[in-house]
């Protein structure tokens, strides 16, 4: 989480089965809408908050035809996160979770989620307890680099601070998120709070009483059995070879430890408390994952490095992808990128004639902003590279806003590098760079971003895609970054997705007041 001011910073049938097979094996694998997630599954009875209380069931959600549009010009595709013509009304999502005759302090969200997962996945009720204490680790063990099977389980980790203010509006949103992502979709996802305690002197990893006192002090009662606390003392104990442990520079260290402790999760979404969804949360995230899975690795890093502006490509992501292929041919990144004294643990690439390499492969990293080359950007963190033999010449990628989905494999590789070799970069460059160097699949999802500023598509493109061909969204002083000279002029202050600004909050306010919007991610929303 970056804060201002910045100091340092299913349809059965053989025909459909054949269609899916052909889709996944075709050379053109970039259709956005063909495989977006859609579900009308009812909430299972074992997944209700209270037995017989149906106010939170998915049938209660109201969808209507969208008659409104986001501001133009628009970055990204309005269909990548779900059906853009089917709008989910905010009132049907949020109203039942405000203060009412229900005593929310009696709810134990961790227990409710485990009950749902136990019913649907035939798990032991004790299989997924929250591991309270993150004991100081012993000697570093060999990292698991090969996927040994897919459990289908996904964790959603919400990053919070000890001083986070749980207002009525925020509580309603958090309850809705948990219900949508876990209960209404039968427990495939499980939500956790990862709470950053600012006092480094509390022995959270050693003292059970101190941990319990902090938990009571900093987390509302209804969320305590799904919360995990940590502080910088915890991170220093796990990663002594890394000189920085603050959230600004090391947003993923706590997530790396979480992945070590909760190895049953194949993937982890890291979300922030000030992120909002205008569509069903589970379905939005599944649509993003489905898009990423459908992407070919051919020129993927080159697509990742630029913003998709649909107006310039006849509103077709396939056209956009074809344009990138025409530009790079067989000269784009293919497999791991070399750097001195670094052993890649990712898969070895096939011959370049296999254009569909990666289609049907889950992405080790999903981001929602372009992954750019930081070299020459004048980004405030451009030169922060530690423990790599090539120093600042190490090939790297950066994506601002640390809202991501990462695989357990990728998190383990970063964990091993930081704990065993002291190799580290700042938060926005961590997962992206290690995915690049290990040859893992990383995908930027071109979700819709509205810009509340009068600009033509051509003007917008000239502003945000002015870098070199491999990193069009980068180049010299891109306005989306915080530079060594401070903020730069650009359209981002009015954008619906960035690391600061008022654009997202304005869109969310309109949505809550009744505006119908297609599936969007909004960040940051600081409503109280």
- Mean pLDDT of all residues in 317-327: 98
d(CA 342, CA 524): 36
329: exposed, middle or buried (Cβ count in 10 Å: 0-12, 13-18, 19+) = exposed
Could you tell me the CA-to-CA distances from 350 to 297, 333, 354, 486 in Å, in that order? 11, 13, 7, 43
- Is residue 222 a contact partner of residue 50, using CB atoms and an 8 Å limit? no
Closest by CA to 408, choosing from 251, 293, 267, 258, is 267
Model confidence pLDDT, tens digit, residues 133-158: 676 665 444 444 444 556 678 999 99
Closest by CA to 187, choosing from 375, 3, 43, 400, is 43
Model confidence pLDDT, tens digit, residues 48-59: 888 888 888 888
d(CA 111, CA 128): 10
Instruction: Tell me the helix, strand and coil percentages in the chain, rounded to 5.
Output: 35, 10, 55
* Per-domain boundaries in the chain: 30-522
Rounded to the nearest 5 degrees, what angle is found at the Cα of 390, between the Cα atoms of 387 and 395?
A: 100
More confident call, 369 vs 188: 369
| SS3 call for 367 | strand
Model confidence pLDDT, tens digit, residues 430-443: 999 999 999 999 99
d(CA 469, CA 412): 32
- Give every CB contact of residue 431 below 8 A, 6+ residues apart in sequence: 252, 365, 367, 404, 406, 410, 414, 442
Could you tell me the CA-to-CA distances from 482 to 233, 245, 522 in Å, in that order? 28, 20, 20
More confident call, 85 vs 138: 85
pLDDT value of residue 131: 56
Closest by CA to 238, choosing from 205, 193, 203, is 205
- H runs (alpha helix) in 165-224: 168-178, 208-218
Q: Backbone phi, then psi, for 449, in 5-degree steps?
A: -125, 120
| SS3 call for 285 | helix
pLDDT tier at 88, thresholds 50, 70, 90: very high
Structure tokens at 53: 């209380």
Structure tokens at 324: 């990138």
pLDDT value of residue 1: 43
- Mean pLDDT of all residues in 157-170: 97
pLDDT value of residue 120: 59
Q: Is the pTM of this model over 0.95?
A: no
Q: Percentage of the chain surpassing pLDDT 70?
A: 84
The helix or strand, by DSSP H or E, that contains position 194, with its residue range, turns out to be strand 189-196
The dihedral region occupied by 333, where left means phi > 0, alpha psi between -120 and 50, and beta the remainder, is: beta
Closest by CA to 346, choosing from 354, 355, 335, is 335
Model confidence pLDDT, tens digit, residues 336-381: 999 999 999 999 999 999 999 999 999 999 999 999 999 999 999 9
- Mean pLDDT of all residues in 7-30: 42
pLDDT value of residue 56: 83
pLDDT value of residue 206: 87
d(CA 118, CA 216): 27
Average pLDDT, the chain: 88
């Amino acid at each position: 989480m970056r804060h201002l001011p910045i100091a340092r910073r299913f349809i059965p049938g053989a025909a459909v089965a054949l269609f899916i097979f052909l889709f996944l094996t075709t050379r053109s694998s970039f259709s956005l809408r063909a495989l977006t997630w859609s579900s009308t599954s009812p909430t299972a009875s074992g997944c209700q908050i209270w037995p017989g209380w149906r106010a939170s069931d998915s049938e209660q959600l109201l969808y209507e035809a969208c008659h409104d549009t986001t501001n133009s010009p628009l970055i990204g595709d309005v269909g990548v996160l779900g059906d853009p013509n089917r709008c989910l009304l905010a009132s049907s999502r949020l109203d039942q979770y405000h203060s009412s005759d229900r005593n929310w302090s009696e709810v134990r969200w961790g227990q409710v989620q485990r009950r749902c997962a136990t019913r649907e996945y035939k798990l032991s009720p004790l299989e997924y307890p929250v591991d309270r204490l993150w004991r100081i680790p012993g000697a570093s063990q060999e990292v698991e680099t090969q996927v040994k099977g897919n459990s289908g389980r996904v964790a959603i980790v919400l990053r919070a601070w000890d001083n986070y203010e749980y207002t009525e509006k925020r509580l309603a949103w958090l309850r809705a998120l948990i219900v949508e992502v876990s209960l209404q979709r039968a427990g495939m996802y499980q939500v956790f709070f990862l709470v950053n305690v600012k006092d480094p002197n509390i022995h959270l990893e050693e003292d059970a009483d101190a941990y319990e006192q902090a938990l009571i002090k900093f987390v509302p009662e209804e969320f305590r059995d799904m919360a995990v606390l940590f502080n910088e003392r915890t991170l220093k104990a796990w990663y002594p070879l890394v000189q920085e442990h603050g959230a600004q520079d090391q947003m993923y260290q706590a997530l790396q430890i979480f992945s070590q402790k909760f190895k049953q999760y194949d993937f982890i979404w890291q979300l922030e408390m000030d992120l909002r969804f205008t569509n069903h949360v589970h379905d939005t995230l599944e649509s993003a994952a489905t898009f990423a899975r459908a992407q070919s690795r051919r020129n993927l890093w080159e697509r990742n490095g630029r913003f998709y502006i649909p107006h310039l490509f006849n509103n077709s992501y396939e056209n956009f992808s074809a344009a990138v292929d025409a530009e790079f041919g067989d000269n784009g990144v293919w497999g791991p990128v070399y750097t001195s004294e670094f052993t890649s643990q990712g898969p070895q690439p096939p011959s370049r004639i296999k254009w569909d390499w990666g289609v049907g492969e889950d992405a080790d990293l999903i981001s929602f902003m372009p992954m750019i080359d930081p070299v020459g950007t004048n980004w405030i963190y451009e030169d922060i590279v530690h423990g790599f033999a090539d120093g600042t010449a190490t090939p790297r990628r950066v994506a601002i806003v640390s809202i991501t989905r990462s695989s357990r494999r990728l998190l383990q590789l970063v964990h091993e590098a930081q704990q065993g070799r002291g190799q580290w970069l700042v938060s926005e460059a961590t997962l992206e760079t290690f995915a690049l160097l290990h040859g893992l699949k990383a995908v930027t999802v071109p979700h819709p971003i509205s810009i509340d500023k009068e600009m033509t598509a051509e003007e917008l493109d000239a502003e945000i895609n002015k870098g070199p061909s491999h990193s069009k969204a980068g180049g010299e002083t891109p306005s989306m970054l915080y530079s060594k000279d401070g903020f730069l002029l650009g359209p981002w202050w009015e954008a619906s997705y960035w690391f600061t600004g008022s654009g997202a909050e304005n869109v969310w306010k309109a949505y809550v007041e009744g505006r119908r919007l297609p599936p969007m991610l909004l960040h940051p929303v600081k409503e109280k």
